[in-house]
Amino acid sequence: MPQPDLVIFDCDGVLVDSEIIAARVEAELLTSAGYEISAEELAETYAGLTFKDILMRVEEKSHLPFQASLIDRAEELVDRKLRSDVRIIEGAREAVASMSAPRAVCSNSRTERVEFMLEKVRLLPFFAGRIFSGLDIPSKKTKPAPDVFLCAAEQLGANPKNTFVIEDSVHGVTGARTAGMRVIGFTGAGHSYPGHADALTEAGAETVIRRFAELGSTIAALSEWSEDA
């Protein structure tokens, strides 16, 4: 059976149920700053983006100026909440542990945040030395840019065309597809919404799963088929 060169997991909303936690904190900050938005709306529209990019998009949309200090405040509050509340996505440990292909994490969160979350849920040993943050790579370009995915593939000697990416956000799917990788959408986290699977498919995911129990068989089935075949 064909074997992927590499399987890349997003962290937030794929391995750990952190997107909804961050969305609640960030929505409250934005609302207090004059832009009323719910956590659910923020997660649906902006999941997968850094808070800096969210602020820029909201500023462009609303024409409201925000203090730059809001970014540091959000980082501090989200970190605090994640350290106390973040939980693993059901089935993630079993899926990762049973995977025979090389694996990595590509995230828009800071490397430090990814590491403390994975350590809290006992996933860090599976990804030690294979964590890539768009904020910490040389180009500093975060998703939806493809840079973090391409950086991981280059450093780990993987062919992008034979790399699978598990992503929960449209922005992440877009970046992985731009990198020439194959994408499996994931909708099993707390921020998932009606139409989530359709949005991931439209962004370029080949298929979408809701439970990690489906991951192994999905990768095996897709590995049998490629666009180049």
Six-digit token pair at 28?
């409250």
The pLDDT score that the predictor gives to residue 32 is 95
The angle, 0 to 180 degrees and rounded to 10, between the axes of the packed helices 111-120 and 69-85 is 20
The pLDDT score that the predictor gives to residue 1 is 58
The angle, 0 to 180 degrees and rounded to 10, between the axes of the packed helices 19-32 and 69-85 is 140
Helices (H), the chain: 19-32, 39-46, 51-62, 69-85, 92-97, 111-120, 124-127, 147-156, 170-178, 196-203, 215-223
The pLDDT score that the predictor gives to residue 229 is 42
Q: What is the pTM of this model?
A: 0.93
Q: Which stretches in the chain have pLDDT values below 50? A: 229
C-beta of residue 205 within 8 angstroms of C-beta of residue 185: yes
Q: Which amino acid is at 100?
A: S
Six-digit token pair at 152?
């991981």
CA pair distance 172, 203, nearest whole angstrom: 9
The pLDDT score that the predictor gives to residue 48 is 87
C-beta of residue 49 within 8 angstroms of C-beta of residue 170: no
